[in-house]
Amino acid sequence: MNDTQQKQLGSTLWAIADKLRGAMNADDFRDYMLSFLFLRYLSDNYEEAVKKELGRDYQSSELEIKNNEKNFSAYIDELKAVIIKYSSDLSPQKLGLKEDEKDEEKINKARQDFVDKNNKMLYSDNVIPLAVWYIRNLDQVDTLEKQMRRKIHYVIKPAYLWSNIYELARTQNDQLLKTLQDGFKYIENESFESRFRGLFSEVNLDSDKLGKNYSDRNDLLCLVITEIANGLSEFPNETDLLGDAYEYLIGQFAAGSGKKAGEFYTPQQVSTILSRIVSLDGQDPSTGKKSKLRNVLDFACGSGSLLINVRKQFGAKDTVRIYGQEKNITTYNLARMNMLLHGLKDTEFQIYHGDSLLNDWNILNEMNPAKKCSLKQWWPIRPSATDGSPKKKWPRIFDSKTMDLRQRRRQISLFYCMDSTF
């Protein structure tokens, strides 16, 4: 995607946000908009990978759907019957119960839960190919998901994929809101091996800001998701598409937030300059960029754009791991999404929710110099008293009592520029 297309995409999405948020505060609507873009990215990436993995089986599912278009209602009923039949043959252990469970009531409830869970894939009026494959191959689902975790490090159930969510929105299905809630919870707790707990904690789909009741909220979400999908459909489906869109929207929302913007977003121009400084050889900057960067740490990472820019300076293969800490819960979640949106695997970064001024993060308290970036590298000479009294303690870098938030962040940025790589 070229620069012109990036700007056009950003402008399109911003216009959608401006149009649909109504009387809602821009910061509140930001959380919904960016979360939906994140879901779209994860879904597209997953569907593309699983399509390659299944090969002809995926194509067969597409063909099956096409061949049943004329009598679609009967086709959905047949798929539901397959789920019921499969559940009736499952042992108590396969249903998540004890192997020797004899309580028929418990067993029947577990079977019904299994049926209800899989029927979520059939809520929309246009079933997606992966849902068909799941239903036709229920005994192979675990194997497929293990394989996808090995290859792309995460799994998303067909019911929670953007393609299915969009179909629910497009047809004004009253199950959209409930499916989104279940989907966000699944992504937080089950999609990745390293759980992203609280990733959508700031996205309250039951908020009165979306509507006075369930129906009103569901209607608004249908409209928002449909508009986003239609806006994105005008642009090429490239891997960096949504990462660029996400960054652009963070910047736009930040611009409308006034003074608070600096807490979660560093303008790209400033971010680029800082990332280039960090990439220079610390021993002799005149020699240019370091040959390799093993790790990079940002003490107050905001939405993570600075860390991503540092990574871009070296390329994905040359940066082993990214570390960041952020105190604000909303911004912390934005940073985690931002990392994944820019193609980082969950094993390639670690963003911690905590206060750097209080050393909340254990890695900052690690005493083994081989395992962390020691503060001694910034204070190489230990202060000592000249009057024979005991040696003084290492000086506090940040004094939370005498420095306001802006001063502390500026101090943190200074140390980041000096040597935040280790």
pLDDT at position 350 over 80: yes
- Can you tell me the mean pLDDT for 61-78? 94
Average pLDDT, the chain: 80
Q: Name the residue with higher pLDDT: 21 or 331.
A: 331
| Percent of the chain whose pLDDT exceeds 90 | 36
| pTM score | 0.78
Q: Name the residue with higher pLDDT: 401 or 352.
A: 352
Residue with tokens 């995926």, as numbered in its chain = 58
Distance CA 250, CA 366 (A): 33
Query: pLDDT digits over 128-153, tens only?
Result: 999 999 999 999 999 999 999 999 98
Across 22-31, 74-83, 248-257, 259-268, least confident range: 259-268
pLDDT of residue 383: 38
Across 44-48, 170-174, 231-235, least confident range: 231-235
- Can you tell me the mean pLDDT for 222-242? 80
Q: Name the residue with higher pLDDT: 382 or 230.
A: 230
- Can you tell me the mean pLDDT for 17-39? 81
Q: Name the residue with higher pLDDT: 100 or 160.
A: 160
Label residue 217 by pLDDT band (50, 70, 90).
very high
Label residue 419 by pLDDT band (50, 70, 90).
very low
- Can you tell me the mean pLDDT for 189-208? 86
Q: Name the residue with higher pLDDT: 248 or 303.
A: 303
pLDDT at position 4 over 80: no
pLDDT of residue 198: 85
pLDDT at position 195 over 80: no
Q: Name the residue with higher pLDDT: 286 or 339.
A: 339
Label residue 193 by pLDDT band (50, 70, 90).
confident
